[in-house]
Amino acid sequence: MARKKVQFKIQAGKNQRFLVPQFSKKAQFKIQEMSFMLLAVVIFFILALLFFLMIKYRGMYSEAGMLKKEKTISTLSNLAETAEFSCGSPFCIDTDRLIVMNNREAYDGFFPLVSLSVRKLGVEEVECNENNYPDCSFFRVYDNAGGNEEIVSTFVSLCRKEQKQGYWYDKCELGEINGGFERAQAK
């Protein structure tokens, strides 16, 4: 019997340390497509968040304006009851005291208002000073308005002491107290 020589083929193994991964082009495209979609979704949510914050930011300024308006109305209604203005009755302002307070710089910033004025209703508007009082109709206590002001008002009685036939009495007329507050604006 003859002996056959058997030849073994020895395959050289590949070095596992230096293998380069081989991806198909289709798989790479799918991964790239998914990353772009994730990026688009993130950008969409960022834009939606910015839009939401912008709407909330505008709402915050309108709420701040409403709060300032309510504070001014509350201040005006309480102002008629203060010792500087009151004539002793509810919602009554003593015009004799107003003429003393008219255009005094000492009252700037004393009240939480930008401007404060009182006027009689139903008569021609004439600004009051010490020379034409009581034949006037508009008392400007102070005015620091810078153009960005909103005016609110409430009705009051305007009373002063008068003498007729030897008797002193309170002569009262319908008036309006006006207060200005600075309007909040979105920047």
Confidence of residue 26 (pLDDT cuts 50, 70, 90): confident
Q: Residue 87: what are its φ and ψ, rounded to 5°?
A: -110, 10
CB–CB of 177/93 below 8 Å? yes
Confidence of residue 183 (pLDDT cuts 50, 70, 90): confident
Confidence of residue 4 (pLDDT cuts 50, 70, 90): low
Q: Where are the domains of the chain?
A: 65-182
In terms of residues, how long is the chain?
A: 187
Per-residue pLDDT, 2: 62
Cα–Cα dist 17/39, whole Å: 34
Is the Cα dihedral 115, 117, 123, 129 positive or negative? Answer: negative
The residue whose two tokens read 């081989």 is 22
Per-residue pLDDT, 21: 63
For the whole model, what pTM was predicted? Answer: 0.64
Per-residue pLDDT, 64: 84
